[in-house]
Amino acid sequence: MVTTVPSQAATVAYDVAAGTPDPELPMVTVADLGILRAVDVTGDGVQVTITPTYSGCPAMREIGADITRRLARAGFDRVTVRTQLAPAWTTDWITADGRRKLAAAGIAPPAAAPRGDGPVPLTLGLPAPARCPRCGSASTRRTAEFSATACKSLYRCGECGEPFEAVKPL
């Protein structure tokens, strides 16, 4: 067990949990993505609260296991991971740092997510073009709404000709 005073332990535990890489996008951490909602240290151990990105995201299980394992290595042997569903995760929670890391890895970060009350409007046209993470051009075209994961779309840049992935605003 970590024997530091509680406030220090809480800071250490948060930093260790926050540094956990996302299994699908290992260039960003769970804190960068906004998945990590809270880390609480009590006499009963560490309670980590995470929120799923998508209802069916198979990485949630891995993320919980990875956080537990990293905390165990840091000396926290009593860790519980709990899920928090509300409010629902949005790509707006991806931090500025996370956006920079995504772009540096060739993945266009998401635009602001559409929000509104009442019936959700239907979209029949193409979305606003994502900016090419390689050359910065806005002259890009979406080639597929989905990519290897639900959270990304496929684009091609009209300027440099390179295909790239973009995180969908959600």
Partner 1 sequence: MSTDHDNPYDLLGDDHDDGHRWAFGTGFTDPLQGIDTRVPDGLDAAALARQCLALGDDALIYSHRLQQWVTRMPELEEETAIANIALDLLGQARMLLARAGAILGQTEDQLAFFRAEKDFRNMSLAEHADADFAELAGRLLIFSAWRLALFTELSAAPDPVLAAIAAKGVNELTYHRDYAAQWVVRLGDGTEESHARMQRALATLWPLAGELFQPDPDAAGLTGRASADRGSFDALIDLVLAAAGLDRPEAAAPPAASYAGVGGRSGRDGVHTEAMGYILAELQSVARAHPGATW
Q: Which residues bind partner 1 (CB under 8 A)?
A: 19-21, 23, 26-27, 49, 52, 54-62, 64-66, 68-70, 73, 80-90, 119-120, 122-124, 143-150, 154, 168, 170
CB of 78 to partner 1, least distance (A): 12
Which of 11/84 has CB closer to partner 1? Answer: 84
* DSSP 8-state symbol, 92: G
Which of 10/150 has CB closer to partner 1? Answer: 150
CB atoms within 10 A of CB 1: 9
CB of 155 to partner 1, least distance (A): 12
CB of 104 to partner 1, least distance (A): 12
C-alpha to C-alpha distance for 92 and 104, rounded to whole angstroms = 19
3-state SS, residue 42: strand
Distance of alpha carbon 54 from the chain centroid: 11
CB of 117 to partner 1, least distance (A): 10
Which of 26/136 has CB closer to partner 1? Answer: 26
CA distances from 50 to 37, 58, 68, 88 (A): 5, 14, 12, 11
Which of 83/135 has CB closer to partner 1? Answer: 83
Which residues are paired to 157 by β-bridges?
140
Radius of gyration, alpha carbons of the chain = 18
